[in-house]
């Protein structure tokens, strides 16, 4: 789906996007248009809804691994909720792109 030669750049973009959301959680409504546009672009790359679940699983595994003893149910719930918000807005953006193209 993504160019294998560009995976480092893709990782950096993912971390930047997640960081942007985390920093902006108190005013997430200001990011909704940006996140929606990101979903529209990803739909053009062939990203499908089930891919968001795969990314969620990998992200949560990575956070649990990195955080070690600091990983607990509250942290897991917070990260899960934040990612689900991000993914749902991106998927809605992708659906808008699809319906506009039809």
Residue 68 located in a structural domain: yes
Name residues whose C-beta falls within 8 Å of residue 15's C-beta, 6 or more positions apart in sequence.
Answer: none
36 within domain boundaries: no
Domain tally for the chain?
Answer: 1
Residue range of the domain that includes 60: 56-92
Query: Does the residue 48 lie in any domain?
Result: no
Rounded to whole angstroms, the Cα distance separating 32 from 11 reads 21
Full pLDDT tens readout for the chain, 102 residues: 566 677 788 778 878 877 887 888 788 888 899 889 999 988 888 889 999 999 999 999 999 999 999 999 999 999 999 899 889 999 999 998 767 765
The pLDDT assigned to 25 comes to: 78
């Amino acid at each position: 789906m993504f160019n294998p030669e560009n995976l480092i750049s893709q990782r950096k973009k993912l971390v930047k996007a997640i960081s942007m959301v985390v920093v902006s959680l108190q005013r997430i409504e200001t990011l909704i248009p940006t996140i929606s546009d990101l979903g529209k672009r990803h739909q053009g790359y062939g990203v499908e809804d089930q891919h968001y679940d795969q990314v969620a699983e990998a992200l949560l595994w990575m956070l649990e691994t990195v955080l070690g003893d600091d990983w607990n149910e509250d942290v897991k719930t917070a990260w899960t909720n934040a990612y689900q918000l991000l993914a749902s807005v991106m998927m809605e953006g992708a659906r808008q792109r699809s319906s506009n193209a039809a």
